[in-house]
Amino acid sequence: MEIRLAVPDDLREIDKFDVFAGDRMNEIKRNEIWVSVQDGTVSGYITFNHSFYLKPFIQFLNVRKEFRRKGIADRLINYIENNCTGKKIFISTETDNLAMIRLLEKRKYRIAGIIEELQEQGEIVFCKDLTD
C-alpha cells in the first residue's frame, strides 16, 4: 500500500466511496488530502488541515467499503501523525461510530469534548499528544 498526496485524477475514484459533504477537489488543490492506493485503486483518504481553531486536525477519514477492516484507516492516521509538526492533533467522529472510537482509543487519543446539536448524533472531539 502506498500513501501519497492526492492529485486531481484521484477525485473520480474518491467520489465512488466518499460519504462526506463538500468538495474534495478544493482539498486536493490545497494539498490537504492524502490517499491510500492499493494495486492502482484509491482505497481510502484522509484530510488534514488546521481548520479546527488553527490546530492540527484530521477533518475526514474514509475507507472504501471493500477495503475496510484491513488497517488502512490506522495507517492513514499514523502517516499524518508522523508528518504533523504540532504538539497535539485533533480528530472527531459521531458518537455512534464505534469502530472509529475503538481505533482512536487504540491509538491513544483521549476525549477532549462532545459537541451536541451539530447533526443527528453528537460529535466527539478527540485529542492526542504527539510529544508522548
Domain that holds residue 20: 2-129
Model pLDDT for residues 62-91, shown as the tens digit of each residue: 999 999 999 999 999 999 999 998 899 999
What is the total count of domains within the chain? 1
Closest CA to 35 of 27, 26, 44: 44
Closest by CA to 24, choosing from 53, 65, 60, is 60
Q: Provide Rg for the chain, Cα atoms.
A: 14
**Tens of pLDDT, residue by residue, the chain (132 residues):** 999 999 999 999 999 999 888 889 999 999 999 999 999 999 999 999 999 999 999 999 999 999 999 999 999 999 999 999 889 999 999 999 999 999 999 999 999 999 998 888 999 999 999 997
* Entry pTM: 0.94
Q: Tell me, what's the pLDDT at 112?
A: 97
CA–CA separation, 14 and 128 (whole Å): 27
CA 48 – CA 16 distance, rounded (Å): 20
> Reduced to 3 states, what is the DSSP secondary structure of residue 16?
coil
Q: CATH number of the domain that 56 lies in?
A: 3.40.630.30
Reduced to 3 states (helix: H, G, I; strand: E, B; else coil), residue 42 is strand
User: Could you tell me which of 120, 121, 118 has the C-alpha nearest to residue 52?
Assistant: 118
